[in-house]
């Protein structure tokens, strides 16, 4: 297919290692020097501030390696459908400004952002999904990627609730993609369920769908896939190659680095959410990463006093609320016309459960917010509510049935 070029993957570091900045910079310079990029235009796709990694270090190295060698250099921030980053936020996030470089938000809210790459047929979607979905999907992508010779992904790999592990071609879809493929891929993940797919190694159905869409990109696709030490600016590993082989190498390290195993389930988890998550749309990762370890009838509390809204860019979640997958499937005629990405977010935060017309909805785990969101908004959305001002963290830390997790949202917790 067009845009496919397989390169041998190069890896620096591994599980249990912590790389020095000079090591990382040297590896990036050497890798890009040997990549045959002279005279080409390069679009660098990076995460927004909801993903943690030493992005200033990485971009400084990339800029230093490519300046004077490439014809044009652009940085494109993969917002998905997150909020636009302001110029000040971009400067802080990227580590400053870079001479001769154009910096772009992925303006997913503008129609002229996109170009059409083609369509994945309903039959192919049915094959990929194992029959869960049978619907054609238009593949639309930010035109900045298509208008460069090379698309270079630079970003971290973590366990992910929709695709198994983040990174690689996921920076294109959904990172800088159109709504159609975002909705279909996220709903496919929701049908499989977050607990059923998160931290799954190799090619999940959603990863296969994303790779199929990425094969339609005419640019050469390369990646610097990094494995970050969660909670710090350090790295365990960096992998360079095409977007598939680089991701495969990094996800193998992430699987040994970003998953914690417990011997038995816990009654309650308190996820302390860092400030990089500015609404529940993103802070919900504090639930995704712990759902597998919570006992039936247990509770997850998301403690995030700084969060004041459910979803900055998706206010319809306030009307839809948070429900298990079967709630929507059992009433599909009522919900089929909603954005499937919003329905997917809803099910991912509410977790496993059942619904039928007589008994209604029964969810396996309770979800409680201790945030700055008004209580009436939280309860209408089908979630529990605690006042963060009177929240006694010490009480939970001293409770043997409660697990308190600082810097929640990145490390996946599973039962052995």
Q: Where are the beta strands (DSSP E) in 135-285?
A: 137-142, 150-156, 159-160, 164-165, 220-228, 235-242, 259-262, 266-272
Confidence band for 80, pLDDT divided at 50, 70 and 90: confident
CATH number at residue 63: 3.40.50.11440
- From residue 288, how far is each of 31, 105, 269 by CA, in Å? 35, 27, 12
Structure-block tokens of residue 409: 């949202």
CB 190 within 8 A of CB 347: yes
On whether residue 5 sits in a domain, the answer given is no
On whether residue 282 sits in a domain, the answer given is yes
On whether residue 273 sits in a domain, the answer given is yes
Mean pLDDT of 135-142: 97
pLDDT digits 0-9 by tens, 357-410: 999 999 999 999 999 999 999 999 999 999 999 999 999 999 999 999 999 999
On whether residue 293 sits in a domain, the answer given is yes
Confidence band for 3, pLDDT divided at 50, 70 and 90: very low
On whether residue 1 sits in a domain, the answer given is no
Q: 273: which residues sit within 8 A by CB, 6+ positions away?
A: 283, 286, 302, 303, 304, 307, 408, 409
Instruction: Answer whether residue 8 shows pLDDT above 90.
Output: no
CB 267 within 8 A of CB 299: yes
- Find the DSSP H helices in 215-260: 243-257
End residue of a domain, out of 242, 257, 272: 257
Q: Could you report how far apart the first and last alpha carbons of the chain are, in Å? A: 41
**One domain, residues 114 and 215:** yes
Instruction: Answer whether residue 177 shows pLDDT above 90.
Output: yes
**One domain, residues 310 and 277:** yes
Mean pLDDT of 193-208: 95
CB 220 within 8 A of CB 3: yes
**One domain, residues 70 and 85:** yes
Mean pLDDT of 102-121: 94
Compute the distance between CA of residue 353 and CA of residue 262 in angstroms, rounded to an integer: 23
Instruction: Answer whether residue 100 shows pLDDT above 80.
Output: yes
Instruction: Specify the pLDDT at position 359.
Output: 93
**One domain, residues 235 and 269:** no
Structure-block tokens of residue 226: 């990094």
Instruction: Tell me which residue of 259, 257, 382, 246 sits closest to 310, measured CA to CA.
Output: 382
On whether residue 3 sits in a domain, the answer given is no
**One domain, residues 234 and 166:** yes
For tokens 């998706």, the residue is 314
**One domain, residues 217 and 323:** no
CATH number at residue 400: 3.90.226.30
How many folded domains does the chain comprise? Answer: 2
Mean pLDDT, the chain, rounded, equals 95
**One domain, residues 252 and 266:** no
End residue of a domain, out of 226, 257, 288: 257
Structure-block tokens of residue 47: 């995460």
**One domain, residues 51 and 198:** yes
On whether residue 20 sits in a domain, the answer given is yes
From the CB of residue 133, how many other CB atoms can be counted at a distance below 10 Å?
19
Q: Is the peptide bond before 174 cis (omega within 30 degrees of 0)?
A: yes
**One domain, residues 253 and 270:** no
How many percent of the chain have pLDDT more than 70? 98
Domain that includes residue 296, residue range: 261-415
pLDDT digits 0-9 by tens, 290-321: 999 999 999 999 999 999 999 988 999 999 99
Report, in this order, helix, strand and coil percent for the chain, each rounded to 5.
Answer: 35, 25, 40
Instruction: Specify the pLDDT at position 2.
Output: 40
**One domain, residues 296 and 241:** no
Confidence band for 5, pLDDT divided at 50, 70 and 90: low
CB 191 within 8 A of CB 137: no
Instruction: Answer whether residue 7 shows pLDDT above 80.
Output: no
**One domain, residues 247 and 268:** no
Predicted model pTM: 0.93
Instruction: Specify the pLDDT at position 37.
Output: 97
CB 3 within 8 A of CB 241: no
Burial class from Cβ neighbours inside 10 Å (0-12, 13-18, 19+) for residue 190 reads buried
Instruction: Specify the pLDDT at position 52.
Output: 80
Instruction: Specify the pLDDT at position 6.
Output: 57
From the CB of residue 364, how many other CB atoms can be counted at a distance below 10 Å?
17
Q: Where are the beta strands (DSSP E) in 243-364?
A: 259-262, 266-272, 294-304, 353-356, 360-363
Beta-bridge partners for 13: 237
**One domain, residues 406 and 348:** yes
């Amino acid at each position: 297919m067009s845009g496919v070029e397989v390169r041998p993957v190069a890896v620096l570091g591994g599980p249990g290692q912590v790389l020095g900045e000079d090591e990382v910079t040297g590896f990036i310079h050497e890798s890009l020097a040997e990549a045959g990029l002279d005279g080409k235009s390069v679009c660098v796709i990076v995460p927004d501030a909801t993903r943690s990694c030493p992005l200033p270090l990485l971009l400084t190295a990339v800029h230093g390696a490519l300046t004077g060698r490439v014809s044009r250099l652009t940085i494109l921030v993969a917002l998905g459908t997150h909020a636009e980053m302001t110029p000040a936020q971009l400067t802080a996030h990227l580590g400053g400004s870079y001479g001769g470089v154009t910096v772009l938000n992925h303006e997913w809210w503008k129609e002229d952002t996109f170009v059409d790459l083609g369509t994945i047929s309903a039959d192919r979607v049915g094959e990929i999904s194992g029959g869960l979905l049978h619907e054609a999907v238009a593949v639309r992508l930010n035109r900045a990627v298509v208008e460069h010779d090379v698309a270079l992904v630079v970003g971290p790999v973590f366990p992910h609730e929709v695709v198994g592990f983040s990174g690689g071609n996921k920076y294109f879809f959904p990172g800088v993609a159109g709504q159609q493929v975002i909705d279909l891929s996220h709903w496919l993940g929701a049908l499989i369920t977050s607990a059923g797919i998160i931290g799954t190694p190799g090619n999940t159905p959603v990863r296969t769908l994303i790779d199929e869409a990425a094969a339609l990109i005419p640019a050469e696709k390369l990646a610097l896939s990094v494995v970050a030490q969660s909670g710090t600016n350090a790295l365990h590993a960096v992998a360079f190659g095409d977007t598939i082989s680089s991701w495969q190498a990094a996800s193998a390290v992430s699987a040994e680095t970003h998953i914690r195993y417990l011997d038995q389930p816990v009654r309650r988890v308190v996820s302390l959410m860092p400030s990089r998550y500015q609404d529940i749309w993103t802070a919900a990762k504090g639930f995704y990463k712990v759902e597998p370890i919570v006992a039936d009838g247990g509770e997850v509390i998301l403690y995030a006093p700084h969060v004041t809204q459910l979803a900055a860019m998706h206010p319809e979640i306030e009307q839809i609320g948070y429900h298990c997958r079967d709630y929507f499937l059992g009433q599909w005629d009522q919900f089929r016309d909603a954005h499937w990405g919003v329905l997917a977010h809803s099910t991912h935060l509410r977790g496993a459960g059942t619904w039928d017309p007589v008994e209604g909805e029964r969810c396996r785990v309770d979800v409680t917010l201790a945030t700055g969101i008004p209580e009436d908004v939280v309860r209408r959305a089908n979630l529990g509510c605690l006042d963060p001002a009177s929240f006694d963290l010490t009480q939970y830390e001293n409770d043997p049935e409660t697990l308190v997790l600082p810097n929640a949202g990145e490390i996946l917790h599973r039962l052995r």
